């Protein structure tokens, strides 16, 4: 077995209060494809910085093989002191490295080497930092959220490059598809501890759920054992005569184990404040065009969105996704064509740019926008402190200034602000940035039960596959085309045409090939979206049945109509809607189950 390139042993680190890391371990060997996973705040980035030698732990040992080169990609690269992007990238090269590789990588990543670092957008800065990290071809690459602010072509290019990279790779990412395609080993950081499993991220979540279920069973056994011992202490005949000091000591040890147990961190519970239903027609675009400085952004677009539709908008940075959304929502007038908005629209927007947050505002004022202490969400009035708990903020953080929040906390804050606005049309611009995977799951569940319409701009392929019913993609020259299904379905329909949207430079073919991606749309198997529906529909069916039973019980009250005629009418209408949705869900599940059996038997 080859000696490790990096090894961390018994790492302890605390910033006061509960330790962040306790006895954490990390082993990186040549050729490893390793991902660090865990909740926001679990210590992933901190452990990676310790591995990079940027942070000194309180205790423990760090070993780096003599002569091994290690490069680290931070979440927020510092480019000060460099006149051009090329100078910044070249400064990361070691003596003897090929200087030309810096320019080649910038070309492949579509970054102007002569640009001033201060003038770069977030996505350009991230691509420049990637070029600086990858150019030396180090023995170990440590990448902290490398896909943040990258568009889909850049993400796919990075996957391809890393797929052929021969050094060791350590990843932190919220992008499920990225982790599934690249990782072979997973290190889970949970409540200060690290656990390593020799499987990639694709098998991690099932394994983690089994571990947590076993942990819950163990705690239940511990509680029952403590209960039995306490009964013996109070009521046992022997105990009344003479205390058994050994059993007393064992009981104290059991109680101490229960006190020291760090339970699993609670999950966020997102819920949107929904307004009254919109009309059936939400947005209708007819032959819409828009150009800036003679450059077409949208050309001859016709599109119709109905209530409940979920439209994903994708494309390289700079293709006009935000402009397109502004056209569709009426914020920007078209040069030609017409935009018709439906009746009774109430829109809430989650913008990608967090600069709109006042850094000096308190967390409470940022959520309520300086309003009262009470928030109406989902028909319930909540105190802002209770609402904050749903997004994993503590009441003690109410006065915390926005500037003191982490990237993940700011992401949750932006979602909390958007969800507090009553809406029947949600416009989400890159909502997944900086969210951990568990919080992403909660956001997906919330959007799945949201009864309004969703416009989603995203570069997260897995998130698109799980959420949207159709995808709008740029075809060049301002032409946009709508594809049925999620991102994977769009790829199957477009095929090789997607390559037109790859980063410029024509060097892609010379890069080593990435390992083959899972084909979720092959004939002979269910697509990712179909499998997801087959797994989630039973829960949706049960939820609808529960709602129907509750309404039927209310309507069975003989005094209901005379007491509240309008309420009786609303309940009757709602019951009809639920029965319709239930019938559709049951039919869909039966159709998918029959298809699954047919494919398995073929």
In the sheet that holds 21-28, the strands lie side by side as: 21-28, 6-13, 59-64
Is 316 marked as a binding-site residue? yes
- N residues, the chain: 602
Is 31 marked as a binding-site residue? no
Number of other CB atoms surrounding residue 179 within 10 Å: 24
Is 315 marked as a binding-site residue? yes
Secondary structure of 333-375 in HEC code, one letter for each residue: CCCEEEEEECCCCCEEEECCCHHHCCCCCEHHHHHHCCCCCEE
- The answer to whether the CB of 344 falls within 8 A of the CB of 278 is yes
Token readout for 133 is 């990290």
Q: Which of 440, 15, 27 is nearest to 194 (CA)?
A: 27
Token readout for 456 is 């989603």
Rounded (5°) CA angle 479-485-491: 65
DSSP 274: B
Q: How many helices (H) and strands (E) does the chain have?
A: 19, 20
Is 476 marked as a binding-site residue? no
Maximum Cα interatomic distance, the chain, rounded to a whole number of Å: 97
501/419 Cα distance (integer angstroms): 33
422/86 Cα distance (integer angstroms): 47
Is 486 marked as a binding-site residue? no
State the sign of the Cα–Cα–Cα–Cα dihedral 565, 568, 574, 577: negative
Is 39 marked as a binding-site residue? yes
Is 203 marked as a binding-site residue? no
- The answer to whether the CB of 458 falls within 8 A of the CB of 283 is no
Is 344 marked as a binding-site residue? no
Is 44 marked as a binding-site residue? yes
DSSP 18-60: S-SEEEEEEEE-TT-EEEEE--TTSSHHHHHHHHTTSS--SEE
Binding annotation for ATP: 38-45, 315-322
- Binding-site residues sit at 38-45, 315-322
């Amino acid at each position: 077995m080859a000696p490790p390139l990096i090894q961390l042993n018994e790492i302890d680190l605390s910033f006061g209060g509960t330790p962040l890391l306790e006895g954490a371990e990390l082993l990186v060997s040549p050729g490893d494809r390793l991902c660090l996973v865990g909740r926001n705040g679990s210590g992933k980035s901190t452990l990676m910085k310790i591995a990079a030698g940027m942070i000194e732990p309180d205790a423990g040992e760090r070993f780096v093989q003599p002569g091994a080169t290690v490069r680290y990609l931070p979440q927020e690269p510092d480019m000060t002191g460099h006149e051009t992007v090329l100078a910044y990238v070249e400064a990361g090269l070691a003596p003897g490295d090929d200087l030309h590789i810096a320019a080649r990588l910038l070309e492949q990543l579509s970054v102007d080497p002569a640009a001033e670092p201060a003038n770069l957008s977030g996505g350009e800065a991230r691509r420049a930092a990637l070029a600086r990290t990858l150019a030396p071809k180090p023995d170990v690459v440590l990448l902290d959220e490398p896909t943040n602010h990258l568009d889909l072509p850049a993400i796919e290019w990075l996957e391809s490059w890393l797929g052929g990279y021969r050094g060791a790779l350590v990843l932190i990412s919220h992008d499920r598809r990225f982790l599934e395609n690249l990782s072979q080993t997973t290190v889970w950081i949970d409540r200060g501890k690290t656990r390593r499993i020799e499987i990639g991220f694709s098998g991690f979540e099932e394994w983690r759920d089994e571990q947590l279920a076993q942990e819950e069973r163990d705690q239940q056994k511990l509680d029952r054992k403590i209960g039995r011992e306490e009964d013996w202490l109070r009521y046992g005949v022997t105990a009344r005569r003479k205390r058994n000091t050994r059993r007393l000591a064992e009981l104290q040890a059991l109680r101490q184990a229960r006190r020291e147990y760090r339970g699993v961190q609670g999950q966020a519970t997102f819920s949107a404040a929904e307004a009254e239903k919109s009309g059936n027609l939400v947005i209708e675009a007819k032959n819409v065009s828009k150009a800036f400085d003679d450059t077409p952004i949208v050309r001859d677009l016709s599109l119709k969105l109905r209530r409940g539709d979920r439209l994903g908008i994708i494309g390289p940075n700079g293709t006009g996704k935000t402009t397109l959304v502004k056209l569709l929502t009426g914020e920007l007038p078209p040069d030609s064509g017409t935009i018709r908005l439906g009746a009774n629209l109430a829109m809430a927007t989650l913008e990608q740019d967090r600069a709109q947050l006042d850094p000096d505002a308190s967390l409470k004022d940022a959520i309520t926008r300086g309003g009262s202490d009470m928030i109406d969400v989902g028909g319930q009035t909540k105190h802002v402190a209770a609402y904050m708990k749903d997004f994993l903020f503590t009441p003690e953080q109410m006065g915390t200034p926005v500037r003191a929040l982490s990237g993940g906390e700011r992401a949750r804050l932006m979602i909390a602000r958007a969800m507090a606005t009553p809406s029947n049309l949600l416009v989400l611009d890159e909502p997944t940035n900086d969210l951990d995977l568990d919080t992403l799951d909660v956001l997906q569940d919330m959007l799945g039960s949201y009864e309004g319409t969703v416009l989603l701009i995203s570069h997260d392929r897995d998130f698109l596959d799980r959420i949207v019913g159709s995808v709008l993609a740029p075809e060049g020259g301002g032409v946009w085309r709508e594809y049925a299904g999620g991102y994977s379905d769009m790829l199957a329909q477009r095929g090789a045409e997607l390559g037109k949207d790859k980063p410029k430079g024509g060097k892609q073919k010379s890069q080593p090939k990435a390992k083959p991606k899972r084909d979720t749309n092959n004939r002979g198997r269910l697509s990712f979206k179909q499998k997801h529906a087959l797994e989630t529909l039973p829960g949706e069916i049960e939820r609808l049945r529960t709602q129907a039973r509750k309404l039927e019980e209310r309507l069975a009250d003989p005094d209901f109509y005379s007491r509240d005629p309008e309420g009786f009418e609303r309940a009757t209408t709602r019951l009809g809607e639920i029965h319709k949705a239930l019938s559709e869900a049951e039919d869909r599940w039966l159709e998918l189950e029959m298809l699954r059996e047919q494919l398995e038997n073929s």
